[in-house]
C-alpha cells in the first residue's frame, strides 16, 4: 500500500509538471503573436506616412502646374523694386535716365579668417586699390567701405573671392544711358537721389512723384539728331582747333528743342565736380557778344517801322565813322550806295549803323526789352546766363546795331531768330514734350517776317553773301553770320552762324558757334564749284561750314518725322 501511495504521489507530481509545461508553451505563443502584430502596425504607419507624402507632393505638383510661374527676370525684379525717381526719355521714347539697383562694397574685419590671404586676393584682382590702406583699416577692426558704387563686373569679381567679410550694400543709382551726350541738359543727382543740376534738378519734385513713378518724363530732344550734331561739332572743334563750341536746333513754331550741344562735355555717370568754366552750358549759360547777327534785328526793326524797304538804297555810306571818340569801320570795302538787303547780305557795319540812327534809340530800347535780350533766358534749366546790362550812353545805339557792346546768350539770340522767321511770334524755348505752346507776344508783323527771311536766304545764295557754304541742295537754308572778338585779347574770338530752314516756310532754327577757332589750312572747300582753301578766320569759313554739314545729315530725319516739312520740299521743287 505504501508503494501504491508513493506511485500516486509521483503521478501527481508528474501531472503537475505537465500542466506547468503546457502553460509555458502557450505563453510563448501569445508573446510571439503580440510581437508580429506590433511589426504590422509599424508597417501600416510607415505606409500611411509614405502615402501621405505622395499625396501632398501630388497636390503641390498639380497646384504649381495649374498656376502661372513667375520666373525671375528684369521685369519681375522691377515690380518689387521701389523706384525713387521716374525715367527720362527722349521724344521717341528712347531711354536717357533710369534708377537701378546698385551696390557699395564694404568690409567687416571681424569676419575675416585669414587677413594675409584676404589682402593677397584683393591685390591680385584689384591692383588699383592700395592694400596698405586696406590693411590699416582692417587693423582698426571697424566696418568700412572698400569701393562705392561698384560696377556689375567688380561685384562679380568680389563675389568670386568667396570672402564672407565682403558685404554688398544695395542702393538706388541713377544711370545715364548716353554718357556724355546729354550732359549739359539732363544734369545729375546726388547720392540721395536729389537732383543737383539740369533737368534732374529743375523737375526734381515731378521726377520723385510716386503717383507718376511709372510714367517717364518725355523730353523734346531727339537722341539721333543730338548724336549727329554732337559728332559733327566735335569734328569741327578738331578741324578748326577751337577751344569749345555749341549748337542748338529748335522748332520755330512751338519752341521745342530737338538738340542742344555744348562742348567740351563730360560723362554724367561719373560723379565728379566740374570746376573748369570751359565746361559750362555755352548755349544757355554762356554770355557773349555775338557780333553781326544783331544786324538782322536792326534791319527787321527798320522794316517793321516802315522806315525803309528791302530795296531802299542807303546812299553815300562812308568807309568809317567817328562816334564818341572811337572810329567805326568795315573790314571790307563796300560800294558807297547799298540797298537795305545788300547791307545785311554783305554785312556792312556802317550801313547798319546808319539805318539804326533812322530807327532811333527809343524804338531800339523797346525792341530789346520786348525780346528779353538782356534778361535771363526762359528754359527749364537753372543753368542760365545773365547778360551784362549797360547804359545807353553816347554811341551805344550805333555799336549795338551791329552787335558790339551788347551781350546775350546764344539761346536768346536763336529764339529771336525763330520769332523773326515764324511770322513774328515770340516763343518760349521748351525741353518738355506735351507742354502747352506758349506764345508770348508778337515782335514783328508777318509781312516783315517774310521780308527778313527772304533776305536771310540771299545771305546764303547771293555771290556777295557771307554764308554760301551752308547752301545745301533741297534745304533752302537762310541765315546770318556773326564774328566777334575779345577786345582785351584779340587772339580770342567767337564765330557764330544762326540759320533757318526751309526759308519759304521756316520750321527750324539752327545755331552753330565756335570759340577761338583757327584757320583750317589743310581743309579744301567746295566754294561755288571751285576748290579753295580758307584764307580768313571768319564765321563764313567755319561755323557756316559746320552748319551745312549738320543740316545735310539731319535734314532727312526731320523730313521723315515731319510731313509738313517734307511736303514743303516737294512744293518748292515743283515750283
Alpha-carbon gap, residue 13 to 44, rounded angstroms: 48
Stretch among 244-258, 284-298, 424-438, 454-468 having the lowest mean pLDDT? 424-438
DSSP assignments along 102-142, one per residue: EEEEEE-GGG-S-HHHHHHHHHHH-TTS-HHHHHHHHHHT-
Give me the phi and psi of 352, to 5 degrees please.
Answer: -65, -40
> Are 513 and 247 a contacting pair, CB within 8 Å?
yes
- Which residue has better confidence, 7 or 285? 285
Alpha-carbon gap, residue 517 to 494, rounded angstroms: 8
Stretch among 46-50, 209-213, 337-341, 508-512 having the lowest mean pLDDT? 46-50
Neighbour count for residue 36 (Cβ, 10 Å)? 10
* Domain segments of the chain as ranges: 103-171, 227-574
pLDDT at 62: 81
pLDDT at 271: 73
Q: Which CATH number fits domain 227-574: 3.30.360.10, 3.30.980.10, 3.40.710.10, 3.40.50.720?
A: 3.40.710.10
pLDDT grade, residue 48 (50/70/90)?
Answer: confident
- 3-state secondary structure labels for all residues of 34-86: HHHHHHHHHHHHHHHHHHHHHHHHHHHHHHHHHCCCCCCCHHHHHHCCCCCCC
Q: Which has the closest alpha carbon to 476: 446, 454, 447? A: 454
pLDDT grade, residue 64 (50/70/90)?
Answer: low
pLDDT at 565: 47
pLDDT at 17: 43
Rounded to two decimals, the pTM is 0.81
- Which residue has better confidence, 151 or 255? 255
In tens, the pLDDT along 305-320 reads 999 999 999 999 999 9
Strand pairing class (338-339; 326-329):
unpaired
pLDDT at 88: 98
Terminal-to-terminal C-alpha distance of the chain? 166
**Residue 559, C-alpha cell as written in the block:** 523730313
In tens, the pLDDT along 160-183 reads 999 999 999 998 999 999 999 999
pLDDT at 33: 59
pLDDT grade, residue 272 (50/70/90)?
Answer: confident
Amino acid at each position: 500500500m505504501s508503494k501504491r501511495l508513493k506511485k500516486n504521489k509521483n503521478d501527481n507530481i508528474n501531472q503537475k509538471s505537465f500542466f506547468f509545461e503546457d502553460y509555458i508553451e502557450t505563453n510563448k505563443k501569445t508573446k510571439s503573436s503580440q510581437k508580429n502584430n506590433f511589426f504590422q502596425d509599424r508597417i501600416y504607419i510607415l505606409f500611411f506616412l509614405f502615402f501621405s507624402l505622395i499625396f501632398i507632393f501630388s497636390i503641390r505638383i498639380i497646384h504649381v502646374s495649374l498656376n502661372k510661374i513667375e520666373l525671375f527676370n528684369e521685369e519681375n525684379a522691377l515690380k518689387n523694386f521701389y523706384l525713387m525717381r521716374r525715367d527720362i526719355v527722349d521724344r521717341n521714347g528712347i531711354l536717357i535716365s533710369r534708377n537701378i539697383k546698385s551696390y557699395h562694397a564694404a568690409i567687416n574685419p571681424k569676419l575675416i579668417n585669414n587677413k594675409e590671404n584676404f589682402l593677397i586676393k584683393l591685390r591680385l584682382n584689384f591692383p588699383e586699390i592700395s592694400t596698405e590702406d586696406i590693411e590699416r583699416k582692417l587693423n582698426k577692426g571697424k566696418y568700412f567701405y572698400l569701393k562705392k558704387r561698384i560696377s556689375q563686373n567688380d561685384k562679380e569679381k568680389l563675389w568670386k573671392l568667396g570672402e564672407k567679410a565682403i558685404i554688398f550694400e544695395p542702393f538706388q543709382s541713377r544711370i545715364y544711358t548716353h554718357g556724355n551726350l546729354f550732359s549739359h541738359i539732363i544734369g545729375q543727382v546726388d547720392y540721395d537721389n536729389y537732383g543737383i543740376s539740369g533737368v534732374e534738378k529743375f523737375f526734381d519734385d515731378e521726377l520723385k512723384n510716386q503717383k507718376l513713378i511709372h510714367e517717364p518724363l518725355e523730353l523734346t530732344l531727339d537722341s539721333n539728331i543730338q548724336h549727329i550734331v554732337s559728332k559733327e561739332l566735335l569734328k569741327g572743334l578738331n578741324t578748326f582747333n577751337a577751344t569749345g563750341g555749341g549748337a542748338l536746333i529748335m522748332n520755330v513754331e512751338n519752341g521745342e528743342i530737338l538738340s542742344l550741344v555744348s562742348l567740351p562735355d563730360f560723362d554724367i555717370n561719373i560723379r565728379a565736380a566740374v570746376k573748369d568754366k570751359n565746361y559750362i552750358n555755352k548755349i544757355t549759360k554762356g554770355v557773349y557778344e555775338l557780333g553781326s547777327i544783331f544786324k538782322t534785328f536792326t534791319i527787321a526793326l527798320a522794316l517793321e517801322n516802315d522806315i525803309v524797304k528791302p530795296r531802299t538804297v542807303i546812299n553815300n555810306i562812308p568807309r568809317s565813322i567817328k562816334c564818341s571818340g572811337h572810329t567805326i569801320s568795315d573790314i571790307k570795302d563796300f560800294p558807297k550806295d547799298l540797298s537795305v538787303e545788300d547791307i545785311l547780305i554783305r554785312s556792312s557795319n556802317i550801313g547798319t549803323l546808319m539805318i539804326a540812327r533812322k530807327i532811333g534809340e527809343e524804338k531800339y530800347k523797346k525792341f530789346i526789352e520786348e525780346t528779353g535780350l538782356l534778361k535771363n533766358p526762359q528754359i527749364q534749366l537753372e543753368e542760365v546766363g545773365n547778360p551784362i546790362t549797360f547804359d545807353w550812353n553816347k554811341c551805344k545805339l550805333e555799336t549795338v546795331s551791329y552787335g558790339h557792346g551788347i551781350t546775350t546768350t546764344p539761346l536768346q539770340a536763336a529764339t529771336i531768330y525763330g520769332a523773326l522767321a515764324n511770322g513774328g511770334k515770340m516763343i518760349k524755348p521748351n525741353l518738355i514734350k506735351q507742354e502747352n505752346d506758349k506764345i508770348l507776344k508778337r515782335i514783328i508783323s508777318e509781312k516783315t517776317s517774310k521780308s527778313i527771311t527772304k533776305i536771310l536766304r540771299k545771305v546764303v545764295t547771293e555771290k556777295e553773301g557771307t554764308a554760301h557754304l551752308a547752301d545745301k541742295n533741297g534745304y533752302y537754308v537762310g541765315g546770318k553770320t556773326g564774328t566777334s572778338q575779345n577786345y582785351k585779347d584779340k587772339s580770342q574770338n567767337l564765330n557764330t552762324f544762326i540759320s533757318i530752314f526751309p526759308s519759304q516756310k521756316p520750321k527750324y532754327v539752327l545755331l552753330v558757334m565756335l570759340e577761338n577757332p583757327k584757320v583750317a589750312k589743310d581743309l579744301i572747300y567746295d566754294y561755288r564749284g571751285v576748290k579753295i582753301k580758307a584764307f580768313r578766320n571768319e564765321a563764313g569759313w567755319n561755323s557756316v561750314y559746320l552748319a551745312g554739314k549738320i543740316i545735310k545729315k539731319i535734314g532727312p530725319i526731320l523730313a521723315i518725322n515731319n510731313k509738313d516739312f517734307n511736303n514743303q520740299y516737294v512744293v518748292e521743287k515743283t515750283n
